[in-house]
Amino acid sequence: MHRYLSLLIHGHSRTQRLQDNCGQHTPSPGDIVLLVFPTFPALPNPAYLDQVCSVCQKREDSISAWSVLQSGGSVLDAVEKGCARCEIEQCDGSVGYGGSPDESGETTLDAMIMNGDTMDVGAVADLRRIKNAIGVARAVMERTDHTLLVGESASVFAENMGFIAEDLTTNRSLNTFSQWLKGNCQPNYRKNVFPDPSISCGPYKPRVTLQRRKRVRHMYRHSHDTIGMIAFSQDGHVAAGTSTNGLMHKVPGRVGDSPIVGAGAYADSSAGAAAATGDGDVMMRFLPSYLAVELMRAGADPSAACETAISRIKRHHSEFFGAIICANTTGHYGAACNKSPGFSKFQYMVRDSKSDTPVLKSVDCI
């Protein structure tokens, strides 16, 4: 599956056009950059860019966020609006309602939003009945002292905050679930249980002995994705956000990397920002977005920071599926992905003031 990033750049004339393939950008003062997927923090100096990043196959999410910035809205508003658009449009079936049913056939949502200036964060996971997950995440940040709410209690909180309770199931998700049951519940994510999960549905019981085995790679590349978005303003504000309906046929209650600070995304206006997509169960163990930002803080350029974050995971999981995009406070950015069967390039979109629509770019996986 293609992983798309949108990069929108608006402002003064450029000193250098974006380079194809390598993903490295040299900004000019006054540029406003909107990147779709990762996160880029900003510093209050004239060399700093406004940026927004988001991961989704559709362009409308980045356009929505871009319009917020152009109209004078805040970076938090831009991130929320961009992610919410993707939730409504059910980007690739992997964001929003009606996608990625779990073992019980239910669609649940994860989301996170982060303020790179204050380091405030709001997140929700295993959210039921509420379509606007990114909006609920922002409510957690602004209406509570907490960082993360999960499950049924998160849904009740959302309803109390005025969000409308709706069925997240659609005919499409019901059909997906039905076909999965007919196929003996394959694939699934169980191990060390009986009956044998590789050939049978549950209910499952634990085996007496644990068997260590190589992790089975059976991710749905066409239905497991995240929209990750970051935004920068000209006066140095930055925000990051993510939204997803998670991994198809996941064990009920599973939470991936998207709502986890430092895993799905991370923003710090004093250093930079990053966002990741891929196999969240593996990637969240390494906090790649946080690592990349800290590497940039120490002086690494964004491309090198991205590659190091990917390489660290690769040492333990050589064939994991994942990608990351990074940007620093000077507006430079880069991306990296892990080369695995069926995944050799990471694609993202670029838009600047000289183009009417986003332009597709790519980086070769390592």
Binding residues for substrate: 254-257, 277-280
* 3-class SS shares of the chain: helix, strand, coil, % to 5: 25, 25, 50
Active site residue 242: no
Where b means 16+ CB within 10 Å and e means fewer, 23-59 reads bbbebeebbbbbbbbbbbbbbeeeebbbbbbbbbbbb
Q: How, if at all, do strands 32-36 and 6-10 pair?
A: antiparallel
- For residue 91 the two structure tokens come to 């980007």
- At position 133, the amino acid (one-letter code) is A
Beta strands in 180-295 (DSSP E): 193-194, 205-206, 227-232, 238-244, 265-268, 272-278
User: Is 222 strand, coil or helix?
Assistant: coil
State residue 340 phi and psi, 5-degree precision. -145, 165
Name the residue among 65, 14, 15 with its Cα closest to residue 36: 65
Choosing from 226, 242, 244, 329, the catalytic residue is 226
DSSP one-letter code for 93 = G
- For residue 51 the two structure tokens come to 């940026």
Can you tell me the distance from the alpha carbon of 44 to that of 234, in angstroms, rounded to the nearest whole number? 8
* Cα-Cα-Cα-Cα dihedral sign, residues 196, 200, 201, 202: negative
- For residue 264 the two structure tokens come to 């799905």
Q: How, if at all, do strands 345-351 and 359-364 pair?
A: antiparallel
CB 33 within 8 A of CB 9: yes
Catalytic residues: 226
